Structures are given as C-alpha cells and as structure tokens.
Chains A and B, each alone.
Chain A
Amino acid sequence: MITLIRIELFKIFRKPRTYIAFGAVASIIWLIQLGFWADGESYINFGMAALSETFDVQGRVLNGYLLAYIILQTLLVHVPLLIALVSGDMISGEANMGTLRLLASRPVSRTQIILSKFLASSVYTLALLVWMAVWTLFFSLFIFGADDMIIMKSEVVTQISAADAAWRYVAAFGFAALAMVTVSALAFLLSIFAENSIGPIMATMSIIILFTILNSLNLPIYQDIKPYLFTTHMLGWKGFFDVAVNASNEQIPGSVENLPAVMRSAGMLLLHVILFLGASLYVFRRKDILS
C-alpha cells in the first residue's frame, strides 16, 4: 500500500498541472500582500472610520494576523477549484490517458487503487494548504509584523491578542484542510464516472456553487437541508476566531466561543469524506473498465 501511495504521489508531483495550484495560490497571496503594502493603511482607515469615532485605536491594525485572516476569507472560496483540478483527474485522467486499464490489470486490488489514489490526493491537498499557510501567515507576518488582531463582523468587533492568534491559525488551517479534503473526496468520487477530467472538475464546482447559493438563501424550504450540506460547514474555521468571554464580558485567552459547533461542523465534514470515499470504493470495485 505504501508503495502504491508513493507511486501516486510521484505521478501527482511529476504532473505539470499540479503546480498550477501552487503558482496560483502564491500569486494571489502575493498580489493581496502587495496591494495592502501599497494602499493598506488608507483601506484600513476607511474600514475603521466609524470605530475610530468611538474608540481610540492604537497600534498596528494592519498587521500580519489581520491580513492572513483577510487572505483566508478570500482564498478559501476559490481553493476548491484548485483542489478539484487534481482530485477530479485522479481516475478520469487515467481513463483518458488509457492507463487505468494498465493499473487495474496489475496484481493490486481495486480497493488499494482507490485508497492509494485518495490518500495521495489528500496529501496534495494538505501540501497545498501548508503552502498557503506559509505564504499567508509567514510572509504576512514578515512584511506587516505581528500585533493584536481586530476582526469586524456585522455587529461585533473582536480583538484577539497577538499571543492568542497564532494557535487559532493553526487550528483554522487544520479545519480548512478537512474542508478541502471533503472537496477532494467529492471530486475524486465524480472522477470515477468520467473519462476526462473536465467533467468532474466542473461538476464539483457546480455542486459547491449550488450548495453555497442554497446556504445563502434564507428561505424556509431550504432551512432543513442546510445542516446536511457540506458547504454549510466549510467555513467553520472562522469559529476559531470567535473568542469566549467571561461573566464580566472579558475575553478568555485560548478559548473558542462555540467549540461544539466547530467540532460538529468538523464531524459533518468528516462524515462527508467517509461517505464520498465509501461511494468511490463501491462504484469502482464494480466498474467495468472500458477506457
């Protein structure tokens, strides 16, 4: 099994399209950092105008932690496409190249083929997240420095001390990794049904867009299904930036306001991964390979 995973990883990382995602992530992050480096102060001042009228805000509001938050919010919406680019190609790409029949006629079981490919695509997903984390957090902190982090939501302003921010990012990236593995598992499942990678990539994105739209529609008819859509839980990483307060309304460092909700979302994502992977195994083990 280890040999198979290594073979799959070798194939993934020798394929030029794999590096499109790494290049795209680095480019987008670099462009955002450049933009904020050039015009960030005025942008932040504009955003803080109302707040500054009431409060005396001191220190570096535009710092590495805040920028990392902004980048994460922007990027995690688009990363699924980059994930689908590789995961949606895992089986369909082999079918398209005509190599699937070679793989499936080797003395390895179809279960091993699926598991090794899925694990390899998950490693790719995690590698992309680590790459994103390094560019987002490390370089943002390097360029803009570290300070307390101020997050403005519709009715709430949260201030997180610099010392309390780093672990939240680790947790947020860990959660995001699970969300992206879910997308990867969906794209992987869809790739079993196709003989070229365009279909699974488009289908994955269409499902994500459709579910995201359903999430944003506050219509009673859709309320009941929302908790079961994996897209509902994909943004659960934001929960790590909601800090619990004590009876005196003071923040409790190292706390999460609604940790059970975050864990529930993680559980739902994990359940989806298991469902998608289980379906992949079921379909592929019975599939006639005609490509």
Chain B
Amino acid sequence: MSSSLDIAPLLEVSGLTKTYGSFKAVDDLSFSVFPGDVFGFLGQNGAGKSTTIRMLLTLIRPNAGQIRVFGMDLQQHRREVLSRVGAVIEKPDLYGYLTGQENLSLFARMSGKGITKARIQETLELVGLQKRAGDRVKTYSQGMKQRLGIACALVHDPDLIILDEPTNGLDPQGIADIRNLVLSLSREQGKTFLISSHLLAEIELMANRMLIIDRGRKIVEGSVRELVDPQDRELQVETLDDAHALECISHTPWAGQLMHDRLPQVVLSMSHAEIPALVDALVGQGVRILALRPVNRLEAYFLSLTHA
C-alpha cells in the first residue's frame, strides 16, 4: 500500500453530482485514488456511496462532474477503462441456476481478454471455491456468493478493484477472509482497491487512505494513519461519580481538554503519555475510576454524522 501525492492518481473524481428530481444523491464530490491504494469509501447508509460507485462503473449517468481512470476520461474510453476494472456492487448476485465455474467463465468471457481455463481455476483457488465450483450457485452460502463475486471481479486481472460493501452479511471468519484477500492482493500484486463500507473499523483494518461522505458530500479525505491517530485520541473516563470527576478535572491542567460536547460523559482529548498523570490526579482526589476507554475521534465524528 503506497500513496504519494506526487504521482498521478489512478482514479480521479471531480465535481461529481447526481440528482434525482430535487434530491441530490451525490453533490459536487471530488477525490483521488492512487496506484496501490486500498481506499476506504465510508459513509452511513444512504450517504451516496453506491450511487458514486455506480457512476464509476457507468451504470448511472452523472448530472455533472468528471471521472478519469488510468488517465482517461471514463465516458470517452468506457470500454478500455472497464476492461481494467473489476467490481462487486452491493451483494454479488449471480446466476443461481449456473454453477460457480460457469458463472466465473461467463464473466471472464465478457472481459474480452481471452481468459484461460487455468486462470479460472487459479481464481477459484484464490477465493477458496475450487471444491464447490461445480455446484449451482443457488446452493451457496452468502459468504461463498461473496467470494465468487470477488472472483468474477478478479478473474480478468484488473488494475482497479471496486468492492461495494464486500463484507455485508458475512460471518466474522468470512469478513477476515475478505480482508486478508484484499491485503494480500494489495501487498503482493500491487492491486488498487476502492472499498465502500459503513463500518469504520473495517476500513481502518484494510485501508491506507479513506474518504468519508455524508448526504452525498465529501466530509473528509486523507490517510487513515493521519485521520485515526492512536497517539492523539479521545479518552473516556468512566467513574462511579462522573459529576465529581468533572469537578476535579476542572481544577487540573486538563480542564481545557474536556470535550464539552460529550457531557455529562467525561471525555478528554489527550495523548497516551498524559494518561498516568491524569489517573494519579483523579485517584488522589478520591475519584473512583471504573475504566478508561480510548475513543476513536474519527469514529466519534463518524457516529455523530450517523446520528445527525
């Protein structure tokens, strides 16, 4: 995973807008994905993620804006661009009356790249479906369908892989499998991913860069490391008497770091290094501490959007 702002973006979206009547599903959205990125595309349900992804795949026509992929205008070079893109859009519905192998073979043939049987087998093995490849897809579990969908997205060896909510409906093992697959393809083959999700934790574990959107508009874009800095998180102090704890803190050097928008909870913005001193000070004043919980600032921010 590497991204550098001095290299040309692999995907560049600028001023993208989609309206349905008076409703703006996507509003002047701009962002860039660089080669090798695992780019998290985050937003609550209905924020405009799927609409954006559908515009990236030419399923929906934007009202305004431009999409450039691999340095080409998507509308003008649709076929060339899409031959280098693989995608799973929402839940990967496939032909239930066909076998997994038939489904994969069918989509491979549509790529126009002359995919060999060996490549199809290789892709089935990559997603761990080789043993069930001859079974009809209607007998597959949700996780298996998800893996087959990813196989369909990967079979033609695309440079950019777009996964829309890839872990929806999966059990923890299935989620871990998808995550490991994404990370290994990114690290070992340098594939670029754009992964949408409404789960911040999932994106944190996979992505190196992320974008959060709300009501179709960009809220924040940047590197995950910068946005989710473990050295500068908020800390929630759970005590037997929060009012007393707040009173005590108001007489300490951390009074200015109290998060007033989180009251009556005791939440402070502070670095890890300051924690022991805070605990000593509170215990010294008779505050009985039950727990100290780090609060992910981005998560709090994201949750505040969700609750808005």
Check if B82 sits within 8 Å of A105, measured CB to CB: yes
Closest chain A CB from B85 CB (angstroms): 8
Number of A residues near B (Cβ < 8 Å) is 24
Do the beta carbons of A98 and B90 come within 8 Å of each other? yes
* A99 lies within 8 A of chain B by Cβ: yes
Q: Which residues of B contact A103 (CB under 8 A)?
A: 110
Is B59 in contact with chain A by the CB < 8 A criterion?
Answer: yes
| Minimal Cβ-Cβ distance residue in A for B83 | A107
Any A CB within 8 A of the CB of B107: yes
Would you call A288 an interface residue if the criterion is a C-beta within 8 Å of the partner chain's C-beta atoms? yes
A207 on the B face (CB < 8 A): no
Report chain A residues within 8 Å CB of B102: 14
Residue count of chain B within 8 Å CB distance of chain A: 32
Tell me, yes or no, whether B65 is within 8 Å of chain A by CB: no
> When A102-B107, A288-B59 are in contact, do A108 and B95 touch as well, CB less than 8 Å?
no
> Does B98 reach chain A (CB closer than 8 Å)?
yes
Residues A98 and B93 in contact, CB atoms below 8 Å apart:
yes
Does B284 interact with chain A (Cβ within 8 Å)? no
Which A residues touch B80, using CB under 8 A?
107
Residue of A nearest to B89 (CB): A101
Is A42 part of the binding interface, using a Cβ–Cβ cutoff of 8 Å?
no
When distances are taken between beta carbons in the complex, the residues of chain A under 8 Å from B110 are 3-4, 7, 103, 106-108
User: Does the CB pair A97–B93 fall under 8 Å?
Assistant: yes
Interface centre among B54, B83, B89, B110 (most CB of A within 10 A): B110
Contacts of A97 in B (CB 8 A): 93-96
Task: Specify which of A102, A104, A109 is in contact with B79 (CB 8 Å cutoff).
Answer: A109
A107 touches B82 (CB 8 A): yes
Kindly supply a per-residue 1/0 record for chain B positions 71-84, scoring 1 wherever the CB is within 8 Å of any chain A CB and 0 otherwise.
00000001111110
Q: Who on chain B is nearest to A100 by CB?
A: B59
Contact B57 A105 (CB under 8 A): yes
Contacting A10 at CB < 8 Å: which of B57, B93, B106? Answer: B106
Closest chain-B Cβ to A230's Cβ sits at a distance in Å of 32
Q: Are B59 and A7 in contact (CB under 8 A)?
A: no
Q: Quick one: which of A167-183 are within 8 Å of B by CB?
A: none
B60 within 8 A of A: yes
Q: A224: shortest Cβ distance to chain B, in Å? A: 39
Give A1-45 interface residues, CB cut-off 8 Å to B: 3-4, 7, 10-11, 14-16
Complex contacts, B87 vs chain A, CB 8 Å = 105
With A97-B95, A99-B93, A101-B54 as known contacts, state yes or no: A288 contacts B107, CB within 8 Å: no
Verify B82–A7 contact, CB threshold 8 A.
no
Question: Is the CB of B296 closer than 8 A to any CB of chain A?
Answer: no
Which residues does chain B contribute within 8 Å of A109, judged by CB atoms?
A: 78-79
A102 touches B152 (CB 8 A): yes
Contacts of B252 in A (CB 8 A): none
Complex CA–CA separation, A84 to B111 (angstroms): 30
Asked if A15 and B59 make an inter-chain contact with CB atoms under 8 angstroms apart, the answer reads no
- The verdict on B91 contacting chain A, using a C-beta distance below 8 Å, is yes
User: Closest Cβ of chain B: how far from A60's Cβ, in Å?
Assistant: 46
22 contacts between A and B (CB under 8 A): A7-B106, A10-B106, A11-B98, A97-B93, A97-B95, A98-B91, A101-B54, A101-B57, A101-B59, A101-B90, A104-B57, A105-B59, A105-B89, A106-B110, A107-B78, A107-B83, A107-B110, A107-B111, A108-B110, A289-B59, A289-B60, A290-B60
Other A-B pairs, 14, CB within 8 Å; known A97-B95, A99-B94: A7-B109, A11-B98, A14-B98, A16-B97, A101-B59, A102-B93, A104-B59, A105-B57, A105-B89, A106-B82, A107-B79, A107-B83, A286-B61, A290-B54
